[in-house]
Structures are given as structure tokens and as C-alpha cells.
Structure 1
Amino acid sequence: MESCSMKIQSGLWLQQVAMISLFLMAASAGMANPLECPPNTEALTTKDSQIPLDELEIRLKPLVRCELAEEAKGWMTLLKSKVQEISGEELVAKHKKTEMKAVEEALDALEDAKEAMEEVPEATKGESESTAAGLEETETAVAEAHKQIKEVIGDQEETEDAVDSSITKEVLEKSETEAGVDSKSGKQILQDEKSATKQLDKIDTKELQDQETLKKVTDAAVQLADSKSEIRKSLLEHVNQLYAERTALIDRANLVINAFEEKGAAEEPITEYRQYIKAVSGLKVDVSDLDATLAALKGWLISKEGGLRWGKNIAIFVVTVLAFYFLSVIVGRAADRGFKASRHTSALLSDFLTKAISRGIIVLGVLIGLAALEVNIGPVLAVIGALGFVVAFALQSSLGNFASGILILLYRPFDVGDLVEVSGVLGKVSSMNLLSTHIKTPDNKSVIISNNAIWGNVITNATATNKRRVDMVFGIGYQDDIGKAQRIMEDILSSHELVLKDPKPVVRLHELADSSVNFVCRPWIRAENYWDVTRAVKERFDAEEISIPFPQRDVHLFTEQTAGAENLPDKNSS
């Protein structure tokens, strides 16, 4: 019985383990990674090649990396097809130019043949030598014209073999449909080209010697030249439209590539895509072909994705920068008034912060304006950062001045208008920036001192407080009355309007010097009223007959009688 019960329990245990395993497998299957690429992934946003950029950006947000890879491939495929279409039409236009040049040369040859025939009168070869020479010249000109016509036919046959003529037909039909012209016009242009070509192909040299036939051939050549010119003009106009479509595709492809890169795309495909876009974008002009150049420029100027787009962007850039400039002026003035109203902000710090705010607003406006110009600000900021590192490494000493300037602004050892003594220079602080301080000396000299030299040395600020003590020393003679002299000085200080009553001025006997008895005179005054009372003391001392001695030395001479001095003759004796 026990063995049976054990078997039953083991069977139940195995059943429970199996159920738990199945549950875990089902749970793991239900918890699959949502970022894994779904099967049969294909590009979805490429179905509408003219999808608005904002709508495309919204559609790209939920896509994972592998889905964005397919989207990028799809848009690059569309772009490649558009570039191939542009290249095909540019090639046809180039061939048409070659054919037009050949037709122009044939027309020149026909004109030469016509002039030669008009110069020779109707006559036979045997009438005269001059007539025979004229006939020979005419035959040569006719033969040259016939040769040029055959070259025109040959060039056209080579072009039709190299390039599919359906491109020309399709472009003409599109141009007429967009212009609202009857579709027969395009067919008529092609028909005129074929009929003129056929007529020229039938002509031989003998027929060209007839003036009537020569005129018909010339008319046919002119018709052929006009037809080819119309075809080439339509091709160039359509190429300009394709340029605008290519620009629109590049905008959408760049948006997809940026989203692909943000979600962890490998560097290699991103670099390849961007290099291809850079290679096929832009307006490439052949300066040797004036007509094509003018047509390309004209088409670009009136294109929504060309001149009109960039004109709008430039206008937005200018308006944005001007708006932020005026905003910086308004905010700067408001900040300046606010800082000046604060008692805890020095004039130097106020000026620095005001300029920093104003310039920061202008820089912000320029960055926003660059974004309106479709400039990617990220690389611009990266370049600025790299340049900042290089400049910082090259200007290490200037960075010390910069740091010292920041510390001076924060700790405020002096302010604009303060009388200071720094680095051995005494004067008033005129202005300061982050690198140097401008000081005006009492003799009106302008001294510029680096902030590093100021912060690393002793700073003496004579106007840091609103009260100052003036220390003066006056000396009187040893024979003068000490009490009287002290009362005179105390009377002068007590009656002077600039001397403060609190703290009280001090007049004390200070020193018994070599030549005088010296008093210290220490009145307190306002910092802005710094002065001395030397003149007043001197005038009172003179009035009270108190002397101010100058340094003097008493010399005493002693004479000594020596042996034999009595035998010397007297100087006063005769």
C-alpha cells in the first residue's frame, strides 16, 4: 500500500511540474520583446511620396529600428529613381543641344551655298574661266551643305538609338497638360521634327543646285532647328520640376534617416545614405551651356522647393534675428533697472549680467534663425564645442584672467567708481570685463590691468566704506606752547563743515622728533569728501605765532692751542 501511495504522489508531482513548465512557456511566449522586428516588414510611408513632413514625423515615431531600416531603404529607392529620371532627361537635352548645333552648321552651309549660287549668273561651263570658277565654288558649297545635312540625320539616328524617344514624348505631353495646351501640340512638334528630317534625308547634291530646292531645304532645316529647340526647352523646364521633386524626396529621406539614427542605427548605412544624398543634391550648372544655365536658374528661382522656399527661409531668418535683437534690448534694459535697484548687486556684476542676458538672447535668435534656414544645429553646436576646447587650450593664460574676472564679480572687492590701489596702480575703476580692468589714475592716465594680476595681489579699496579717516602730522618748535597748538587744531577741525562729529576727531601729541614736536591730527569725513586741513593749520599757526620748524642741525666749533702756536705772527699785525 505504501508503494502504491508513493507512486501516486510521484505521478501527481510530475503532473504539476509539467503544468508549471507549460505555464512558463506560454508566459514566455506572451512576453516576447515588443521591439523585435515583425515578419514581412516593408516600407509603409513611401506609398505617398508627397506626404507632409509633420505627418511623416508622426508616423515614424512608433516604428522600431528594423522598420525604420526598411523605410530608409524605401525612400532612398524613390530618390534613386528620381535621380535616374533627371539624368535621363538631362542626357536627352544634351543630345538635343548637339543636334541643334549640327543643324546650325547645316544652315550656315546652306546659306553659303545660296550666296555662291546668287553670285554666279546662269551660264554654261565653257563661256569663260571666271564663270567656270564660280560654278566650281558653288558646287563645293552645295556639297558641303549636303554633307552637313547628312551629319544632322546621322546624329539624330545615333541619339534615337542611345536614348529612348519615349522620354521626349512623355515630357512634351506632361508639359502641354500642365500648361493647358491641346495635346496635339506635342505631337505636332514631334511630327514637324520627323517631317523635316525626312525631307532633308531625301535631298541629294544635284537637287541642292536648284535655288528653289535649296530654299525648301533651308526652310526644312529651320523648322527642324525650331522643333529641336522647343523639345529641349520643354526638357529643361521639366528637369527643373524634377529638381523640386528631388528636393522634396531628400527632405523626407533625411527625416527618416534621422529617426533611424536616433533609434540606434549602425553607422555604415547612415553614412552611405547621407553621402549619396550629398552627391545627388544641389543645383549643378554647366556654365558652357548658357541656355541650360539660365533655364536652371529661372526654374530654381520660381520653384516651391527652390528659390521660393529659400526666399521664405531667409525672410524668416532675418525677421527672427531682428525680433530677438529688439527683445534683447528690451530685456537688457529691464534687467539693468532690476539689478540697479538691488542693493546686493554691484555695478560691475550688473553690467556683466545685463550684457550676458542680451547677448544670450541674440545667440538664441541666431540659432533659431539657422533652424529656419534648415541648418542642422546639432553639428553646429558640436563644432562650437570643439573650437571652444581648442581655443581654451591655446589661451590658457586668458582663462586664468577669465576665472579671476568671475571671482571678482562674485566677491565684489571693488565697483565702478571706487578709488583702489591694485598691482601698484592707484586710481578709479572705470570699467571691467572678464579679462581685464580699466583704471583711470588721478593724473588722467588710462591703465588696463589683467584680472589675474589684480586677484593675485593685494587690493586696497579706499571707497569701500562711506567714512574715511584722514591722518595728518603737524610739527611745532620746542619753544612753542603745546597746549595752544593743540587747541588751534581742535578748533579748526570742530569748525570745518566736512569733518564728522561722530567719530570725534583726534588731536594728540605724537612724537618728540629731532627738529620738532609732532602732533597727529585725525578727523573723520565722508569717503567722497576726502581732503586735508594743512593750509588752514598753517595760516592759524602763522597768526598765532607758532612756528613750524624745518630740519636743522647745530654745529659747535672748539679751538685747541698747539705747541709753537704763540710764535706764529698775528694776522692783524702789520
Structure 2
Amino acid sequence: MGIEIDETQFKQDLATRGEQLYDIAIYLDSRKKALDERLNFTAEEDKGNVTKQTIALVQLQKFLLASLNNTVSLMEKYGLDVTDYKQTLFAMTGDINADVLDVNVAWGLLSEWIDSFKDWALDSTPSLVVKLLVFCVILWITRSLAKVVANLVKKSVSHSKMDFSVLMQDFFISIASKAVTFIGLLIGLSQLGINLGPLLTGFGVAGVIIGFALQDTLSNFASGLMILIYRPFDVKDLVQVAGIQGTVSHMSLVSTTIRTLDNQTLVIPNNKIWGDVINNMTAERVRRVDMVFGIAYEDDFDYAKKIAMDVLEANDMVLKKPEPNVRVHTLNESSVDLIVRPWVKTDDYWDTYWDVTEEIKRQFDAKGITIPFPQRDVHLNVVNGSAEEITTELKKSV
């Protein structure tokens, strides 16, 4: 037994139901927006009631949209126009499905967004332009104020009785300037209408996540602070750190830049420096130059010592106090080693080293003092054959 249904009447009823559900969906959406706006101006004690109403409305809206979605599917099956309904469903649910790929639906959504943007631009452009101008003015004032603060801090730390290192001075100047810039940026964002509470909370959460992800960087940061506090070296000091020798040209909280003696620029992480031995060769005003000269056992070492001492006394860069020292140091296999240790200003270290070495070699040669080199004497005990035959064979092998 079949039930006869008038298809034309069914389509009309289906279209009527779609229109009714569509109108109710629009009404519920407007009610939800009104409740959301009302929640922003409601007292704390009344927010719970408004929130309950919003939750109930959202549940009803979900049920209605599901019914509208089923009705739209049935209408589409019978060839009815459902473009507006699909646009509304997408706008309210945000579900991306095959309907969005429909040309009419996509064009309708795009047209709706363009119209919404035009309305927003017409309503908001005057106030937005004013806010942007205020934001730019605040940034300009902040930049100027940051420069003024940086100069004040620079004068303060450079004339302080606490004797800050250059690295520490640069650190304070940088922190002061960046702090002023950060505060000015927050003030500018607040003038644009951005709520700073969630923004700062987001910074805090992001900071925790970044902290776990960048543990090595934080280690460099902590090492940089320790270097600034204990001041093992300063800018322009000649140091040997992490197996690198050179002059400190720059330092941040993360890394230190070293310029080597052959003019290479190396950037070393601070944790590599702080975790190793730091040798500062220019921390003191004077240094001792340690040199060793070997002479033959047959030579008069007292005479050789006098020659070396005369060379030191004739050199203007060698200091009188502390007195230079020349002593017999080691009796090696093939030489008697003399230590020559003058004291010089730190800046004159290498010039003195090279000049004294060259002059002592010249004086030793001129006055008959021999500088031996390692050598071995080989004695052949011939058992079979003559020494001449063995010597000939050795020469051939060489």
C-alpha cells in the first residue's frame, strides 16, 4: 500500500520550513551577539546568570542549525535554491565542507565579507586613523625618550664611583633603552584598543614554553650575567678563552665576540667561556716575558748570562723595577738552558719578546756563544766486512 504525495506541495512545505528555520537561526544569532556584548558591561555578580543564558542559547542554536542543515540537504535534493542557507550555515558554524567549493556559495560568502568590511571601514576608519596617529606619536616619543634615558644612564655609569666595566656599562644602557621602548609599545597598543591583560598572559605562557625549548640559550644568558658581575675581562682585553686567543671586541648576554691576532672575528657562546679557564693577559699593567736560550756545555754560562743581561739593560722597554732575571735553568741533553725574564708594560709584551730574542741571538753569534741543536753520534762496531763497505752501502740507501 503506497502513500501518494504531491511533489509540488511537498517542495512548497519544504521551502517554508527552510525559511522558518533560517529566520529563527538569524534571530538566535543576534540574541547570542547581544548576550556576548552584554557580558562585557555586566557586574561581576550578574555575569553568572548571563553566562547561563548564553550556554542555553548556544545549545538551542546547535540543535536548530542541525535541523536546518538536514532541511537544506533535502531541499537541494529536490532542486531548490539553498545558496543563502549554506552561506548562513557556514557563517554560523564555520564548518568547511564541500558546500564552500560551490561557486554560488563561495561568491556569496565573499560578497558578504566585502560588504561587512565596507561597513566596518565606514564606521571605524575615522577613529582608527586617529588611533594610528596616536600610536605613531607614542612610538616617536618613546624612541626619543629611550635615547635620552640611554644617554643619562651612560653618563651615570661612566662617572660612577663603583667603577663599572665597559661591558657592564653597555648592559645597563641597553636594558634602560629597551625597557623604555617596551613600556612605550604597551602604552601604544592600549591606545589601539588592545586588551593588554591577555597579551601579557600570553607572553608569560610563551616565555615558559620558549624557556624549555631554549635551555642552552638561557644557559648562555646566565653565564653572560656572571661574566658581567665578576668582570673577568673587559672590552679590548687580550684573553684566551675556550681555546681561543684574541681581543674582546663586543659582548652580549648570549655571546662574546673575539678578534684573533690574525684578525679573525669569532663569536663564542658565553657558557663555553664561563665553563672554561679564562686567561686575561691584559688584566695587569705589567707582565713578565719568559724566554729560554740554550748554550753549549763548552761555553761559559756566566759570560752568556752577562751578555743576556746587557741586552736587557740596553732595551728601553724593559722595566728597572721589578728587576729582570737571568739564571741557569735546566741542564738538557745537548744544552745548558738559560731563562731570561724581563718585566715590561703589558702593551710592550710582544715587541720586547721579539726584540730581545733577536738581539740575544745576534750577540751570541758575535761573541762566540753557541746555540746547540739536538744531534746524535753513531758509532759502528764492524764484525764482518770493512767499515768502508758498510759506509758505502749506507750512502746508497740514503
Measure, in 2, the Cα distance between the counterparts of 1:332 and 1:341: 14
| Residue 206 of structure 2: aligned partner | 387
Give TM-score scaled by structure 2 length.
Answer: 0.66
8 A contact 2:235–2:249 mirrored in 1: yes
Q: 1:298 to 1:391 in 2, by over 3 A?
A: closer
Tell me if the contact between 1:286 and 1:293 (Cα under 8 Å) persists in the aligned partners: no
How far apart, CA to CA, are the structure 1 residues paired with 2:121 and 2:269? 57
Separation (CA, whole Å) in 2 of partners of 1:529 and 1:271: 80
Q: Report SS of the residue matched to 2:339.
A: strand
Matched, 1:511 2:330: yes
Q: Offset of 1:462 from its aligned partner? A: 1.1
Q: What is the rounded CA distance, in whole Å, between the counterparts of 2:367 and 2:140 in structure 1?
A: 75
Classify 1:471/1:333 alpha carbon distance in 2 versus 1 (closer, same or farther; 3 Å): same
TM-score, structure 1 as length reference: 0.47
Cα distance change on mapping 1:294 and 1:550 into 2, 3 Å: closer
Deviation, 1:552, is 2.4
- Unaligned 5+ segments in structure 2 are 1-22, 24-36, 56-107, 387-398
Number of aligned residue pairs: 298
Q: Is the 8 A contact 1:287 1:293 kept in 2?
A: no
Whole-angstrom CA distance in 2 between matches of 1:471 and 1:352: 37
Correspondences of 1:347-366 after superposition (within 5 Å)? 347-366=166-185
Q: Residues 291, 448 of structure 1: CA spacing in aligned structure 2 closer, same or farther, 3 A cutoff?
A: closer
> What residue is the counterpart of 2:364 in the other structure?
541
Q: Secondary structure at the match of 2:240?
A: strand
Letter in 2 for 1:408: I
Distance 1:520 1:344, change over 3 A: same
Given the alignment of the two structures, is residue 327 of structure 1 paired with residue 145 of structure 2, yes or no? yes
Amino acid aligned to 1:452: N
Query: Which residue, 527, 534, 551 being the options, matches 2:374?
Result: 551
- Identify the residue that residue 346 of structure 1 maps to in structure 2: 165
1:409 alignment partner, SS class: helix
Instruction: Find the counterpart in structure 1 of residue 238 from structure 2.
Output: 419
Task: Provide the rounded CA distance (Å) in 2 between the counterparts of 1:392 and 1:455.
Answer: 20
Report the alpha carbon displacement of residue 371 of structure 1 after superposing the two structures with TM.
1.5
Q: How does 1:461-480 map to 2 (within 5 A)?
A: 461-480=280-299
In structure 2, distance between residues paired with 1:290 and 1:545:
100
Residues 94-173 of structure 1 mapped to structure 2, 5 A cutoff: none
Q: What residue is the counterpart of 2:48 in the other structure?
A: 268
Per the alignment, residue 455 of structure 1 pairs with 274
Q: Secondary structure of 2:246's partner?
A: strand
User: In 1, Cα distance between the equivalents of 2:115 and 2:382?
Assistant: 123
Within the candidate set 216, 222, 230, 1:403 is matched to: 222
Structure 2 match to 1:24:
none
Confirm or deny: 8 A CA contact 2:39 2:47 kept in the other structure.
no
Instruction: Give, in angstroms, the shift of residue 267 of structure 1.
Output: 6.3
Indicate if the aligned counterparts of 2:142 and 2:180 stay in contact, CA closer than 8 A. yes
Match of 1:307 in 2: 125
Give, in angstroms, the shift of residue 443 of structure 1.
2.0
Q: In the superposition, relative to structure 1, how do residues 309 and 270 fare at CA in structure 2: closer, same or farther (>3 Å)?
A: farther
Q: Secondary structure at the match of 1:474?
A: strand
Separation in structure 1 between the aligned mates of residue 188 and residue 275 of structure 2, nearest angstrom: 43
Once the two structures are TM-superposed, the CA of residue 367 in structure 1 deviates from its matched residue by: 0.4
Q: 1:309 to 1:460 in 2, by over 3 A?
A: same
What CA distance in whole angstroms lies between the structure 2 residues aligned with 1:467 and 1:410? 25
Match of 2:316 among 488, 492, 497: 497
Three-state SS of the structure 1 residue aligned to 2:374 is: coil
Work out the CA distance in 2 between the residues paired with 1:428 and 1:420.
6
2:190 equivalent among 371, 375, 380 = 371
Equivalent in the alignment of 1:303? none
| SS in structure 1 of the partner of residue 304 of structure 2 | helix
Deviation at 1:542, TM superposition (A): 1.7
CA drift at 1:534: 0.4
1:484 alignment counterpart = 303
For residues 213-252 of structure 1, what are the structure 2 equivalents within 5 Å? none
Would the aligned equivalents of 1:327 and 1:361 in 2 still touch at CA under 8 Å?
A: yes
Following superposition, the deviation at residue 310 of structure 1 comes to 2.3
- Alpha-carbon distance between aligned partners in 2 of 1:467 and 1:458, rounded to the nearest angstrom: 21
CA, structure 1 residues 273+441, in 2 after alignment: closer, same or farther (shift >3 Å)? farther
Contact persistence 1:286–1:292 (CA under 8 A): no
Cα separation, partners in 2 of 1:506 and 1:416, compared to 1, 3 Å: same
Give how far 1:273 is off.
9.8
RMSD: 3.5
Distance 2:121 2:242 in 1: 67
Distance (whole Å) between structure 2 residues aligned to residue 273 and residue 418 of structure 1:
71
Instruction: Sort the Cα spacing of 1:409 and 1:267 in 2 relative to 1 into closer, same or farther, 3 A.
Output: farther
Partner of 1:245: none
C-alpha separation in 2, matches of 1:295 and 1:414: 62
* Structure 1 residue 337, shift from structure 2 partner: 3.5
Residue matched to 1:437: 256
Identity of aligned residues (%): 42
Q: 1:324 to 1:272 in 2, by over 3 A?
A: farther
- Report the secondary structure of 1:479's partner residue: coil
Cα separation, 2, equivalents of 1:482 and 1:398: 57
Structure 1 unaligned spans of 5+: 1-161, 163-249, 276-284, 301-305, 566-574
| Larger CA Rg, structure 1 vs 2 | 1
For residues 289 and 462 of structure 1, what CA distance do their matches in structure 2 show? 73
Deviation at 1:427, TM superposition (A): 1.6
SS of 1:438's equivalent in the other structure is: strand
Instruction: Provide the C-alpha distance between the structure 2 equivalents of 1:452 and 1:468, rounded to a whole number of angstroms.
Output: 28
Does structure 1 retain, via aligned residues, the 8 Å contact 2:304–2:364? yes
